[in-house]
Amino acid sequence: MAGEIEQLKILAREKKFLEDSDFYNDDTKLVEFICYDCDFFKPDEEILECFAFKIVKNLLRKGIVSPQEVLDALSQ
Q: What is the pLDDT of residue 2?
A: 56
From the centroid of its chain, how far is CA 9?
13
Contact 19, 55 (CB under 8 A): no
Q: What is the pLDDT of residue 47?
A: 73
From the centroid of its chain, how far is CA 5?
19
Share of the chain above pLDDT 90, in %: 9
* Mean per-residue pLDDT, 4-10: 64
Q: What is the pLDDT of residue 8?
A: 62
34 vs 62 pLDDT, higher one = 62
pTM for the predicted model, two decimal places: 0.69
Name the nearest CA neighbour of 17 among 53, 70, 75, 59. 70
14 vs 65 pLDDT, higher one = 65
Q: How far apart are CA 63 and CA 39, in angstroms?
A: 27
Q: What is the pLDDT of residue 55?
A: 92
